[in-house]
Amino acid sequence: MKRVEVISKHFLESNECVGVELNKPDPTGIDYYQFNDLLKPDEIEIRNRAKSFVKNEMSKVNLNSYYEKAEFPTELLPKLKQLNWVGAGMTGYGCSSLSAVKVGLLSMELSKCSADISTFFGILLNISMLPIYNNGSEEQKQKYLPKMSSMELIGAFGLTEPQAGSDASGLYCEATKVEGGWILNGEKRWIGNAPMADVIIIWARNSETKQVNGFIVDKGTVGMSVEKMENKISLRSVQNGHIYLKNCFVGEGQRLPLAKDFQSGPGASLFLTRIVASWIALGIASNAYSKCLEYCQNRKQFQSPLSQFQLTQERLVRMLANLQAMSLMCLRISHLYDSKKLTFGQVGMLKAFCTSKGREITQLSRELLGGNGLVTDFEVAKNFVDMEAVHTFEGTYDINTLITGREITKSSAFSVNKKK
């Protein structure tokens, strides 16, 4: 009888455990497993600074109104400039030199409030600078990087095309060598920042070598026009553009000399951006979960809080468990990147796992909010649709799993005409 009473007490009194002093973890997000204990003091400091920026600056701007109008909140740009966080993974030239862990942490915290701002700041600014840093001449670095790191110039990364999305290396955009430079012809689509960019990195196939080369194209260059993409349902404040290149001439000095092919060119920039995209997925999912938990504790149905029902608790625990797994993977992969040990397969699996589990979390959160999960008032609806974009960009789930699959099996599933 005594044993039955002990077991009963164990189940009914959630704050006690017989014979054990129970630690009380934070149940509202990724810190349920004391995530901060794994961080260095300077990493905790930058995470706290990002939280403070969200609270003191971003929360004071009506971001939902910009989101609904599909406009970028330019009033935040002066505040973002003051952070001096642009140029992650790059040293010198005014760059921040932030580690992958640090840029991941700040991206996660920003995305809890706005995935648009986090995407702009964590991915789009850095990915437009990385090709110049990795593949550019010293003259190009001195000319562009200081102004890009200070956000005096806004950059864009022109890789994706109307007919080359998942098959990113199968570019149709062509670069033809002429006297004194190159002629670019083709189109680019889904290029973040393009409508507002001062500098666009264009990746094109060399008509002679058939390899992918990179070019720095300044705003206003004759032969390049940019059309803002409309009617997006996700990341609406991020300005995506469709770029048209018609006999666009760029001088030889605008070619990135060290970008010899896809892997040394655009491929080298995708390591960090896929890591940051995973941290953004973590931030979006963390916010959706915490808002859902709060909602379930306050919302009553059938005379009881939703959080008291068994089905609700199962979903909340599933979401919380996914968050812990996502956070630990993000941190570990960031450490591998910073120590220069990361492989394409490892980062591919991170991106695939985090966005798929993040997608599950936002879907369950939306479901538990019922009709209120369909309006932006409760934030979860925006988390739900924004996760769809993160699940797709920087490589879809299927593409990233195949990258990992290729690495572990030593056999590529990408080629349509596979050798027998």
CA distances from 42 to 72, 281, 378 (A): 31, 23, 33
Query: Exposed, middle or buried by CB within 10 Å (0-12, 13-18, 19+), for 311?
Result: exposed
Give the Cα separation of 133 and 137 in Å (integer): 8
Q: How far apart are the first and last CA of the chain?
A: 69
How confident is the model at residue 377, as a pLDDT? 86
Distances (CA, A) of 135 to 123, 181, 192, 266: 18, 17, 21, 9
Check: CB of residue 32 under 8 Å from CB of residue 324.
Answer: yes
Nearest to 267 by CA among 340, 183, 344, 194: 344
pLDDT per residue over 3-61, tens digit each?
545 544 554 454 444 444 445 778 888 899 999 999 999 999 999 999 999 999 999 99
Distance CA 100, CA 97 (A): 9
pLDDT of amino acid 11:
46
User: Residue 81: what pLDDT?
Assistant: 92
Residue 3: its pLDDT value, please? 56
Domain architecture of the chain: domains with CATH: 35-149 (1.10.540.10), 155-254 (2.40.110.10), 266-409 (1.20.140.10)
Residue 147 three-state SS: helix
CB neighbours of residue 310 within 10 Å: 7
Intervals of the chain under pLDDT 50? 4, 7-8, 11-12, 14-22, 418-420
Distances in whole angstroms, Cα of residue 179 to Cα of each of 185, 196, 221, 245, 412? 16, 31, 18, 19, 39
Residue with tokens 């966080």: 85
